[in-house]
Amino acid sequence: MGKPRAIELFAGVGGFRLGLERGGWDVVWSNQWEPSTRRQHASEIYTTHFGDVGHTNRDIQHVLDDVEAGTYRIPDHDLLVGGFPCQDYSVARVLSQATGIAGQKGVLWWEILRLLRHSRPRFVVLENVDRLLKSPANQRGRDFAVMLSCLSHEGYVVEWRVLNAAEYGFPQKRRRVFIVGYLSDELPIRVSPSKWITQEGILARAFPVREANEAFQVDTGLDPDIVLSPDLKSLSDEFGVGAKVTPFSNSGLMIDGNVWTRRVNPFFEHRSTVLSDVLELEDEVPERFFISDSDLDRWKYLKGSKNEDRVHRASGTPYHYSEGAIPFPDAVDQPARTILTGEGGSTPSRFKHVIRTESGRLRRLTPVELERLNGFPSGWTDVTGISDGRRAYMMGNALVVGLVQSIGEQLLPHAKSTLTPTSEVHTKAVAANS
Ligand SMILES: C[S@@+](CC[C@H](N)C(=O)[O-])C[C@H]1O[C@@H](n2cnc3c(N)ncnc32)[C@H](O)[C@@H]1O
């Protein structure tokens, strides 16, 4: 039997594709377009490694216009994946089924939904910042509720988990929410929602949790914690109004608009990798990565604690500013902090990593080290004419490849099995084996 087929939206430099291919999948189509720059570095890097076949470097909105007009065809696929921005997912109005929902233009979630409606893949894996679970500030959890509800309308069961890569052995404390959806007849759920969340689900198998053998097992958890209004417009208007915190914990399951959500803790017994595991030899690191004496005080100030009066530059309003210190230099015997898109370049910054070398000098991380922190092969982003800063930007946008690989491996047997007798389809969780 051939490998199951995936397509990749918002492909960047191909983090999802690397993870999926390592997990036994074929990626047959991809889309990547950077709206803010003329040169398309990410797409260039992507095609350097994976070739041009099945890759599109155009705004996804235009691609899908062509798909709907019948002038462009995306190959058949079992799985759709993508990492996309946390934006405002509010719904202005719900139009007829045929024309769909009116959300804000340029909000990429609606493009994902458009493609899901068109091609109805059996499985979906999405990645986003963990802030998605609690945004926006004036309606905690609304955006995630809208997303879940849309997926429910399309017939998907959805699991999610906030994963800190370092808690599963990777050398970076990158925290992201992974959302796994499947058409409800693909994975019949025969256990309680709690057991699915902590033991049997795709994410629980890929990333074991401590609670698997503890309290949650005696909790049959049949009553949902949240019931999403099937009316998207009122869900969008009303969800989270007046709430101080989001109702969505770091893991959960949604079936037919019913949501069960649990706070879970990672269970990982193997050796963790740390920052020192990815470092290049000091004498191979170019001089431009070392901190100059003249910049040292600025670095120390930015990394240090502050408790000072300031004046707002634009309005002239005085205000008080305080923040704590962050480690300077960064500890190399621990996983690194999250790589941000601004990690590159020599300008001093609070958030860039700085390490002390064996000889006692201070330096920033190289592009190769940043690639390794995400699990990419060394030199992955090194295309002709690209700057160190741009390479760092790509890694700030990317993801931890090994996390995708684990999810891909767990989905694989389900994707390979085409035999799912309809009579056994369960869209409701049952407590049978709980
Ligand atoms: C969070 S990044 C995903 C990174 C990717 N997972 C990786 O491993 O590199 C989102 C990507 O979406 C791309 N993007 C933004 N707007 C887009 C659009 N309208 N059409 C297609 N791609 C877009 C950005 O250029 C960026 O590379």
Domains of the chain: 5-269+400-424 (3.40.50.150), 275-397 (3.90.120.10)
Give the pLDDT score at 218.
Answer: 55
- What's the 368 CA to ligand 1 centre distance in angstroms? 21
Atom of ligand 1 nearest to the CA of 36: 25
- What's the 302 CA to ligand 1 centre distance in angstroms? 30
Q: Is the CB of 398 under 6 A from ligand 1?
A: yes
Instruction: Assign 103 a pLDDT band (cuts: 50, 70, 90).
Output: confident
Q: Which tokens hold the place of 11?
A: 């492909």
- What's the 83 CA to ligand 1 centre distance in angstroms? 7
Q: Is the CB of 16 under 6 A from ligand 1?
A: yes
Residue of 60, 86, 180, 235 marked catalytic: 86
pLDDT of 425 over the 50 cut: no
Q: What percent of the chain has pLDDT over 70?
A: 91
Q: Which tokens hold the place of 429?
A: 């969780």
Q: Is the CB of 242 under 6 A from ligand 1?
A: no
Amino acid at 98: A
Give the pLDDT score at 106.
Answer: 76
9 closest CA partner among 53, 57, 45: 57
pLDDT of 427 over the 90 cut: no
Which pairing describes strands 156-164 and 91-94: parallel, antiparallel, or unpaired?
A: unpaired
pLDDT of 87 over the 90 cut: no
Instruction: Assign 90 a pLDDT band (cuts: 50, 70, 90).
Output: confident
Q: Is the CB of 44 under 6 A from ligand 1?
A: no
Q: Which residues of 309-318 are buried (b: 16+ CB within 10 A; e: fewer)?
A: eeeeeeeeee
pLDDT of 276 over the 90 cut: yes
Atom of ligand 1 nearest to the CA of 59: 20
Give the C-alpha separation, 355 to 332, whole Å. Answer: 7
Give the pLDDT score at 277.
Answer: 98
pLDDT of 429 over the 60 cut: no
Atom of ligand 1 nearest to the CA of 31: 21
Atom of ligand 1 nearest to the CA of 14: 8
* CA dist 99 → 95, 108, 257 (Å): 6, 17, 22
- What's the 46 CA to ligand 1 centre distance in angstroms? 12
Amino acid at 388: D
Residue nearest to atom 23 of ligand 1 (CA): 33
Total length of the chain: 434
pLDDT of 348 over the 60 cut: yes
- Residue in this structure with the two tokens 């796994």, named with its chain if needed: 180
Provide CB contacts within 8 A for 298, sequence distance 6+.
348
Contact call for residues 142 and 136 (beta carbons, < 8 A): yes
Contact call for residues 310 and 289 (beta carbons, < 8 A): no
Q: Is the CB of 170 under 6 A from ligand 1?
A: no
E strand or H helix at 102, and its extent? strand 101-103
Instruction: Assign 434 a pLDDT band (cuts: 50, 70, 90).
Output: very low
- Residue in this structure with the two tokens 């079992």, named with its chain if needed: 78
pLDDT of 2 over the 90 cut: no
Give the C-alpha separation, 149 to 170, whole Å. Answer: 32
Q: Is 86 a catalytic residue?
A: yes
Provide CB contacts within 8 A for 33, sequence distance 6+.
40, 43, 56, 57, 58, 59, 60
Contact call for residues 372 and 379 (beta carbons, < 8 A): no
Q: Which tokens hold the place of 17?
A: 């594709």
Q: Which of 46-50, 176-180, 186-190, 421-425 has the lowest mean pLDDT?
A: 421-425
pLDDT of 144 over the 70 cut: yes
Contact call for residues 198 and 399 (beta carbons, < 8 A): no
Give the chain's radius of gyration (CA, Å).
Answer: 23
Give the pLDDT score at 400.
Answer: 98
Q: Is the CB of 9 under 6 A from ligand 1?
A: no
Give the pLDDT score at 1.
Answer: 65
pLDDT of 424 over the 80 cut: no
Instruction: Assign 40 a pLDDT band (cuts: 50, 70, 90).
Output: very high
pTM: predicted TM-score of the whole model, two decimal places: 0.93
Please tell me which of 197-201, 210-214, 417-421 the model is most confident about, judged by mean pLDDT.
197-201
Mean pLDDT of the chain: 91
- What's the 400 CA to ligand 1 centre distance in angstroms? 15
pLDDT of 361 over the 60 cut: yes
Amino acid at 321: Y
- Residue in this structure with the two tokens 């920052």, named with its chain if needed: 275
Compute the average pLDDT of residues 400-408: 98
* CA dist 52 → 32, 45, 46, 76, 116 (Å): 12, 11, 9, 18, 24
Question: Could you tell which of 397, 399, 405 is best to mutate to test the pocket of ligand 1, judged by most ligand atoms within 8 Å of the CB?
Answer: 397
Give the pLDDT score at 105.
Answer: 74
pLDDT of 194 over the 50 cut: yes
Give the C-alpha separation, 390 to 151, whole Å. Answer: 35
Give the pLDDT score at 395.
Answer: 98
311 by DSSP, 3-state: which?
A: strand
Atom of ligand 1 nearest to the CA of 85: 1
Give the pLDDT score at 188.
Answer: 80
